A and B are shown apart, each in its own frame.
Chain A
Amino acid sequence: MLRTAGLLTFTTALAVLATAPAQALAPRTWVAKTGDDANPCTIALPCRTFQGAHDKTAPGGTVSVLTPGDYGAVQINRSISVTNDGVGEAGILAPGTIGAFITGVVGDVVSLRGLVIDGLASGENGIRLGRASALHIQKCVVRNFQGSGPEQFAGWGIAVLPLASASQVFISDTLVYNNGGGPNTGGGIVFIGQGSNSVNAVLERVRVENNVNGIEVSASNNPGGNGLHVMLRNSIVSGNTIYGVLVDSDPSHPNGHLFLRNSSVVHNGGFGVVAGQAGTILMSNVTVARNGSGLGTFPGAQIISYGNNEIDNNVGADGAATGFFAPR
């Protein structure tokens, strides 16, 4: 897949060169708060917005930040990396809209790094994955996405609605807080199955704090394929109003999976860990404490423990795993 991405990139670049030499896209573009989108987005003549720079960047290229500033929402339709490496806060303010909306083609690889994405209480999603083969999110902050529409999944900080047959999502060192579209809708991070499309996701050192809901993996619209498989490691899901983590599936294809490892699910208002309809959750070295309730399981769902979790001191019932795996 990623090898194909390279070929596609190359082919596309050739096509662009062949058809519009005067408008050749640059492999490397820059933005600065003093920039101008009429510029070629070079380091000497940077652009002003991420969208302006994105549009002048060749597939496979990079947009980087020169100065602190707000660079606006961006719709991404190609392989690209958008990076701020410590120049100060690089913001995407996205009231009423989507901060970074990825709508490319199969084979695209998109990287977002070092960005602060803020919905100012009305944004729909901070980051939304439509179509790409891989999405890498690093060192970002996603907050204040509390819009209630018109998008169906407005009010989630990060929304993965995969339109490629197979997508990979990697999120690390990222803080997602104060998101939610209504009193009980929206929240931190959501994965919603689309047709038979599958997702493998790894979330490492992610903090999902003070949202309406924490993390949802919903494969109930996902009756075929390999399903949705999310791993959460070394992370915190805390202070969310309703649930901490929730997984559900289509009962005829129970392929919504969440693997929790070495993480804390604490201080959530409802259940900490919920296996909804036909969902599967595995947990190892996880702390589930001070939630409204600890573990909850719907009929047909399962929570499998490796026998090494701390599930105590919840406000209501601690709940119990439905099964155990032995480490080996």
Chain B
Amino acid sequence: MRRSTRTPIATATALACALAASPASASGVSRSWVSPTGNDTNNGTCSIAAPCKTFQHAHDMTLAGGELSVLRAGSYGSLTIAKSISMTNDGAGEAEITGGIDGIDIQANAGDVIGLRGLTIDGSQFPGKGTGVTFGAGASAALHVQNCVIRNFARGIVMVAGASMRMLVSDTLIYNNGSVGAGSATSGGIFAAAIGLQGAGANAEVVLNRVRLENNQNGLIVVGNQPPVEGPQLHDGPSHVILRNSIVSGSAANGIWAVTAAGAAPVAIFVRNTAAVGNGAAGILADGPGATIAIGRVTVARNATGLTASNGGQIFSYSDNEIGNNIGADGAPTGFFTPR
């Protein structure tokens, strides 16, 4: 319902303003800026000369498809994103989102493209509560996260996927997220993890490159759609996650975890050139009949247990992984793929 109402209104507003040749302040701007010395009051342009003070206000003044940038180091507050937008801090000093229980709540419209770059998203004022980045439903929406730090929440990134959604995260550090007693995927808070993906709308695609998931309750959790879930109706297609050139280490519970119930949507994680080390339960866990994890050039060491495939879950190896020196059992792949 959100999608079906907001887009026409926004479009109509923009059209009306353009036709009436209103000042830019009424219609929004394609380019906005924030600074700690900025001012939100009666500031509809967030210009580089007269910047705004918070991300939320600058977002609200920015047209869909526009860009919001940071002029100086500062704390810019949590926000809700409801349009295509690019938020960038390119080395102006630490641009922090803090002070709220949650960091960024993305309620995307169909087809929206959101970019987050160079932000520190910190939940330390409500430790162990809230979510750093929530990526909500919107068919074919895409989220790009680069050079960010996400820490001190109950959950780092949660993606509740609509159909064909995409999320691409690179060069990002996610640490110290988790909450008390959240030992399983769905107890004590869904996705008590650095990155959690649920629902997996048909053909949802996630690529995680050079991410470091350090010292969280769990590292990466991918859950097949199973009711009840919050939010819009989900589709029962598979989700595909690629995790490469990354580290998943120091989780209190599992490192990399694919889980589905019988009859739920299948989930697949392809792990490549990545270390799952020093986690407090399984390094890699495939749980359920539709849970598949493929591993190539992966190191699985010093976890409580190495590989675990349970309840019909499968782990396929390219026979080039280092699986050894775990505290308990190393475990073994359930099958093998041949490089070709």
Seen from chain A, the residues whose Cβ lies within 8 Å of a Cβ on chain B are: 1-3, 5-7, 9-10, 27-28, 30, 43-44, 60-62, 64-66, 79, 81, 83-87, 109, 111, 113, 134, 136, 138, 168, 170, 172, 200, 202, 204, 226, 229, 231, 233, 257, 259, 261-262, 282, 284, 306, 325, 327-328
Contact = CB atoms under 8 A, between A and B. Distances in A.
B321 A2 contact: no
B96 A62 contact: yes
Contacts of B36: 43-44
Given A66-B93, A83-B94, A85-B91, A2 B176 contact: yes
A66 B277 CA distance: 36
A282 B325 contact: yes
B249 interface: yes
Given A62-B120, A168-B250, 17 more contacts: A7-B180, A9-B124, A62-B96, A79-B124, A81-B151, A84-B94, A134-B176, A168-B214, A170-B250, A231-B277, A231-B302, A257-B302, A259-B277, A259-B301, A259-B325, A261-B299, A282-B322
B44 interface: no
A168 B278 contact: yes
Contacts of A261: 275, 299, 322
B58 to A, nearest CB: 17
Contacts of A81: 122, 151
Contact residue range for chain B? 35 or more
Contact of A2 (B215, B299, B317): B215
Interface string B150-177: 0110000000000000000000010110
B127 A6 contact: yes
Contacts of A30: 73
A164 B340 CA distance: 47
B169 to A, nearest CB: 16
A137 B178 CA distance: 20
A170 B324 contact: no
Contacts of B324: 282, 325
Given A2-B215, A64-B73, A109-B215, A200 B249 contact: yes
Contact of A86 (B91, B302, B325): B91
Contacts of A28: 75, 96, 98
B247 A233 contact: yes
Given A2-B215, A328-B321, A202 B128 contact: no
Contacts of B72: 66
B124 A62 contact: yes
A204 B245 CA distance: 10
Contacts of B125: 27, 60
Interface in B117-144: 118, 120, 122, 124-125, 127-128
Contacts of A229: 277-278, 301-302
B332 A328 contact: yes
B73 A87 contact: yes
Contact of A3 (B178, B322, B323, B333): B178
Nearest to B332: A328
Contacts of B327: 226
Contacts of A109: 175-176, 215
B68 interface: no
Given A86-B91, A200-B302, A257-B325, A6 B128 contact: yes
B92 A62 contact: no
Contact of A1 (B98, B175, B252, B301): B252
Contacts of B175: 109, 111, 134, 136, 170
Contacts of A79: 124
A170 B93 CA distance: 22
10 contacts: A5-B176, A43-B74, A60-B124, A62-B96, A85-B120, A113-B149, A134-B215, A202-B247, A202-B275, A233-B275
A84 B152 CA distance: 19
B225 interface: no
A309 to B, nearest CB: 12
Nearest to A170: B214
Given A85-B118, A109-B176, A134-B250, A61 B94 contact: no
Contact of A83 (B120, B247, B275): B120
Contact of A284 (B75, B91, B178, B322): B322
Interface in B310-336: 317, 319-325, 327, 332-333
A91 B174 CA distance: 25
Interface in B94-127: 94-96, 98-99, 118, 120, 122, 124-125, 127
Nearest to B124: A60
B96 A65 contact: no
B325 A170 contact: no
B55 to A, nearest CB: 15
Interface-central residue, B124, B128, B333, by most chain A CB under 10 Å: B124
Contacts of B95: 85
B173 A3 contact: no
B94 A3 contact: no
